[in-house]
């Protein structure tokens, strides 16, 4: 079980949102690159970046901060990023900067063919991010909820060559209410690629619960507000996951 610290970027700052709402942002650092280094020093083996402004604008909006983070840590840990990825040129640009994986979210829903094209052009480096509320996929920075069911949509991408799927339960993201284990496991059992859980990971109990379902295809979890506010210690949680061989 890989625990992946999230660094959400808004206006060049490291923030955390509640339920994806831009007006419910808490600023945790004015220096995202230093925050990235901190999590690496705490034992992170991968980092998760989100360009929140880019998710709404449909194009990269925090490039200065992203470059600074990659210059600081990309030689030591893989870094993945989502938000505002809508074309192959953007993917190529990010990978050239040092990203290991690029996450396609809204564009995957609006233009599924784009995922196939991206996987062909950049094999092994494409992750699909599926964000859902009550099982229905949300797009455009979670501003719109579609009538597409997350499980059915995930199946469409399973054969395209994606590295994995990040599944975010919007209702739990940033709310410190615990991870949605049942929905995550259900999705993982339906697709032939690893699923990374996101949204609501709050405590050691959540990590233990995720470790218990690794065999179902849940390969990792993105952790955010809990490690920033201290309810979950990243280093301790990752050691526990390693010791349990999850």
Helical spans, DSSP H, in the chain: 32-41, 52-57, 63-73, 88-97, 106-110, 112-121, 150-157, 181-190, 204-211, 225-229, 234-243
Residues near 221 by beta carbon (within 8 Å), at least 6 away in sequence: 1, 2, 3, 4, 179, 196, 197, 198, 201, 206, 207, 210
Q: Confirm whether 163 is a catalytic residue.
A: no
Active-site choice (8, 51, 160, 163): 8
| CA atoms within 13 A of residue 186's CA, in its CB half-sphere | 10
Contact 181, 209 (CB under 8 A): yes
201: helix, strand or coil: coil
DSSP at 176: T
Name the phi and psi angles at 132, rounded to 5.
Answer: -135, 150
Q: Confirm whether 87 is a catalytic residue.
A: no
Active-site choice (51, 53, 131, 206): 131
Cα–Cα dist 18/10, whole Å = 14
Query: Catalytic residues, which ones?
Result: 8, 131
């Amino acid at each position: 079980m890989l625990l992946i610290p999230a660094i959400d970027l808004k206006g060049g700052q490291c923030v955390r949102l509640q339920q994806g709402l831009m007006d419910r942002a808490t600023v945790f650092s004015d220096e995202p690159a230093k925050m990235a280094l901190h999590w690496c020093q705490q034992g992170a083996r991968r980092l998760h970046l989100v360009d929140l402004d880019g998710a709404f604008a449909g194009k990269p909006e925090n490039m200065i901060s992203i470059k600074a983070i990659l210059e600081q840590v990309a030689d030591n840990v893989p870094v993945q990023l989502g938000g505002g990825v809508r074309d192959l040129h953007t993917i190529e640009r990010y990978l050239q900067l040092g990203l290991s994986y690029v996450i396609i979210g809204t564009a995957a829903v609006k233009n599924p063919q784009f995922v196939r094209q991206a996987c062909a052009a950049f094999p092994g480096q494409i992750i699909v991010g599926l964000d859902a509320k009550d099982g229905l996929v949300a797009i455009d920075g979670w501003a719109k909820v579609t009538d597409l069911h997350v499980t059915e949509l995930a199946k469409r991408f399973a054969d395209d060559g994606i590295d994995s799927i990040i599944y975010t339960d919007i209702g739990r993201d940033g709310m410190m209410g615990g991870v949605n284990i049942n929905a995550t496991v259900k999705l993982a059992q339906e697709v032939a690629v690893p699923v990374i859980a996101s949204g609501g990971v709050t405590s050691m109990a959540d990590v233990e619960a995720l470790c218990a379902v690794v065999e179902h295809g849940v390969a990792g979890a993105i952790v955010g507000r809990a490690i920033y506010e201290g309810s979950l210690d990243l280093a301790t949680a990752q050691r526990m996951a390693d010791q349990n061989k999850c």
